[in-house]
Chains A and B, each alone.
Chain A
Amino acid sequence: MLEKDIILKEREVLERVGFVLDEKQRSGSFVLLDNEEIASNYTEGLTFYSMGKAVKEIKGVKEKLWTLVPEDKDKWTRKAASGPPRGYFIHVAKGVKVEKPLQACFLIATSRMTQTTHNLIILEDGAELYIINGCATASYINAGLHIGITEIFVGKGAFLSYTMIHDWASQVEVRPRTGVYVQEGGKFVSNYITIKESRLTQSYPEAIVERNGAAQFASLVFAPPNSLYDLGARIYLNGEGARGEIISRAISGGGKVYSKGHLIGNAPGIKAHMSCDGLLLNSQGSIVAIPELEANHPEVEMSHEAAVGKIAEEEIEYLMSRGFSPEEAKSLIIKGFLDPKILGLPPALEAEVNKTIEMIGEGSL
C-alpha cells in the first residue's frame, strides 16, 4: 500500500517525521495524502481503519465523533465538520498490548490546499499503544492549511503514547484540535516536536483525567524566523489521585513562541506540575511562558516553574575550554536543551526523534 509514487518520492520528507517505508517496523501505517486516505494494518487486536471506512462499517463510530471536541468550538472545527470525516480510526481491544508503534502521516502534496482530518482513537481497558504521527508537506509545497481533529479515549489502566513530529513548509497554517479522556488508572502521554517554521501553529489540546489516571503533554519546539507557535495544553484533574504534567522546551531562532498551560485540580490528592523553559538565540524572536494553576480543592499539590533566557555564556565557555568551538558548543547546548529523554518514548522511536533533534541542533545556527 505504500508503493504510491508520491510516497516513494517523498520518502526523505516522511522519514524525517518518523514515517518508515519498512512496514515490518510498525504495527500499522496510515497516510492521509491531501484528503485521500490510505491505511493498512498488520496486527491482531488492533483495528485500524480509514475514517471514511470506519463510519460506514463500524457501528457507533459516527456517534463518538465530536464528543470530546465540540463541533462548534471555533471556525476551524466548523470547517472540519462541514465535510465528510477523513483520517484514521484506531481501536485496541481490551488488554491488547501492541508492541510495535503504529505510524500515521499527514502529507500535503497539493499547494494551497486545505487538509482536514478527523481521527478517533479508542483504547479499551488495559490496552497499550504507541503512535507516531508525522505531519509534513511534500518537498515542493510551501503553502497550505491543516486542520486536525483528534479525539482520544484511554480506557481503565490503558496506556497511550502519542507522538507528533511536524515538518511543515514555511507558509502552512496548522490548527490541531484535540480532546482526550483518560479513565481510572489510565495514562496518556503526548509528545510534540516541530522541526521547521510554519507560519502559524495554534494548538491547545484538553485532557480530562479520572481517578489515579495520568496525562502528560511534552513539547520540543524550535521556532525559526517568521514562525509563530501558539501552544498550550489544559488538563482537568477530576478524579482523586489523578496526575498531570506539562513540559515545554522552546527555542526561538527568531520566531515567536507562546508556551501556555492550564492545570485544573478538582479532586483531593491530585498532583500536577508544569515546567516551561525557553532559550532565545537572538533578539528578533520572543518566548512568552504563561503557566496557569487552578486549584478547586484544598488537598491538591500543584506547581509550576518557568525560565526563559539566552544560552549561558558560562556553559559555552566551559565547553570551549574542552576544545569545542563556540558553534559546536552552542549546537551541543541546543541539542541538550531539546533532549528527547524528557519524552516518554520507546527506544526505537527515541532514536528517530534523536535524529530530528540533531538536525535542529545543526540547522539552528
Chain B
Amino acid sequence: MLIVENLWVEVEGEKVLKGINLRIKSGETHVLFGPNGAGKSSLFFAIMGFSKYRVVEGRIIFKERDITYLPPHERARLGLGISFQRPPSLRGIKLYQIGKLMGREDRKIQEYAKLLSLNGLLYRDVNLGFSGGEMKRSEIFQLLLQGPDLALIDEPESGVDVVNIDLIAEAIKRLLQKDRPILERKRSGIIITHTGFILEKVKADRGHLLMDGKIVCSGNPEEMFNEIKLKGYKECVKCWKKTLS
C-alpha cells in the first residue's frame, strides 16, 4: 500500500524528517509513537503532500505509484486521507456541504453523523467554535465520508472525553474495516497516539517510535507502548543510542 523510502523533509529550511523508511501493507494498521516535536505529524503532512513540507531526498510510493511530488488533492483522489490534530476553521462552509460535495448520499452522511453523534454540527461551519472533541469527531466523520485506502489519523483521542473516545474508536474500526476477517481487510491506517487509549480499542499490527525525525524502533505496538509508559521516552533514547554504538 505505502512505501516510504529514505525520506528527508524540510520545513522552512529546517530538517524535520531525516531518512524515514516505512512499509505498510494493505489491511494493516500501524501506530506512531514519539515525544512532541519528533516529526510524527510532519511525516503525515509529507505523505499528504502539503506544500510547507519539502521533500529533499527519498520518495513516497502509494499503491505502486510514485506520489512524491503530487499535490494533495491528487493524492486524496488516489485514496489517501488524513484527520488533522488541529484542523483550520472554514467559515461559511458547512460540514454537511463537505459531505455533499464529496458526492456522498444523504443517507450516508446522516448515518456517519449519527455514528459519531454529530447531527447537531452538520449545519455548522466546519470546525468553527467546535470543542476539542467535536473537532476530532468531525475529522473522523470526514474521513469516513472520504473512505480512503490509507488513513493518516493524528491523535484521534487527545482532548476527548471517555464517552466520545468510544465513538471515535468505533468509527476508526469501521474506517479500517476491523469488523472484517483479516484477509478481507483492504484499508490501512497509521495512527499517532500519545495516550495509547485508542490502542485498547483499535488493534494495531505494528508500532514505530519516531525520535528526532527518524524511526528508531519498530515492533509490537502494545509492548512498545507499555515500555514507553513504564520508562518514558528517555529510556528509548538510551536503548536507541546503544543500538547505534
Interface residues of A (CB under 8 A from B): 312-315, 317-326, 328-329, 332-333, 335-339, 341
15 contacts between A and B (CB under 8 A): A313-B52, A315-B88, A315-B90, A318-B84, A318-B87, A319-B90, A322-B81, A322-B102, A322-B142, A326-B71, A335-B93, A336-B93, A336-B125, A337-B92, A341-B92
A333 to B48 Cα, complex, angstroms? 21
**Beta-carbon nearest neighbor of B48 in chain A:** A321
**Beta-carbon nearest neighbor of B123 in chain A:** A341
Task: List A contacts of B80 (CB < 8 A).
Answer: 321
- B73, A325: Cβ atoms closer than 8 Å: yes
Task: List A contacts of B101 (CB < 8 A).
Answer: 324, 328, 332
A313 to B50 Cα, complex, angstroms? 10
- B73, A326: Cβ atoms closer than 8 Å: yes
B188 at the interface (CB under 8 A from A): no
Task: List B contacts of A337 (CB < 8 A).
Answer: 91-92
Residues of B118-149 whose CB lies within 8 A of A? 125, 142, 146
- B92, A318: Cβ atoms closer than 8 Å: no
A348 to B180 Cα, complex, angstroms? 47
A315 to B87 Cα, complex, angstroms? 9
- B76, A323: Cβ atoms closer than 8 Å: yes
For chain B, give the interface size range: 20 to 34
A314 to B86 Cα, complex, angstroms? 11
Task: List B contacts of A318 (CB < 8 A).
Answer: 84, 87-88, 90
Task: List A contacts of B92 (CB < 8 A).
Answer: 335-339, 341
Summarize A's interface: helix, strand, loop or mixed.
Answer: helix
Interface residues of B (CB under 8 A from A): 48, 50-52, 71-73, 75-77, 80-82, 84, 87-88, 90-93, 98, 101-102, 125, 142, 146
Q: Shortest beta-carbon distance, B191 to chain A, in Å? A: 17
| Candidate in B48, B75, B76 with the most chain A CB atoms within 10 angstroms | B76
- A317, B72: Cβ atoms closer than 8 Å: yes
- Assuming A333-B90, A339-B91, is B76 touching A322 (CB within 8 A)? yes
A325 to B74 Cα, complex, angstroms? 8
**Beta-carbon nearest neighbor of B44 in chain A:** A321
Task: List B contacts of A328 (CB < 8 A).
Answer: 101
Task: List B contacts of A339 (CB < 8 A).
Answer: 91-92, 125
A321 to B142 Cα, complex, angstroms? 11
Ranked 9 nearest A-B pairs via Cβ: A336-B92, A339-B92, A323-B76, A320-B72, A320-B73, A336-B93, A314-B88, A321-B72, A315-B88
A320 to B52 Cα, complex, angstroms? 14
A333 to B125 Cα, complex, angstroms? 11
Q: Shortest beta-carbon distance, B174 to chain A, in Å? A: 18
| Candidate in B81, B90, B92 with the most chain A CB atoms within 10 angstroms | B92
Task: List A contacts of B72 (CB < 8 A).
Answer: 317, 320-321
A319 to B71 Cα, complex, angstroms? 12
Residue of B76, B88, B125 touching A320 (CB-CB under 8 A)? B76
A335 to B92 Cα, complex, angstroms? 7
- Assuming A317-B50, A336-B125, is B93 touching A323 (CB within 8 A)? no
Q: Shortest beta-carbon distance, A259 to chain B, in Å? A: 17
Residue of B48, B51, B90, B98 touching A313 (CB-CB under 8 A)? B51
Task: List A contacts of B50 (CB < 8 A).
Answer: 317, 321
- B76, A333: Cβ atoms closer than 8 Å: no
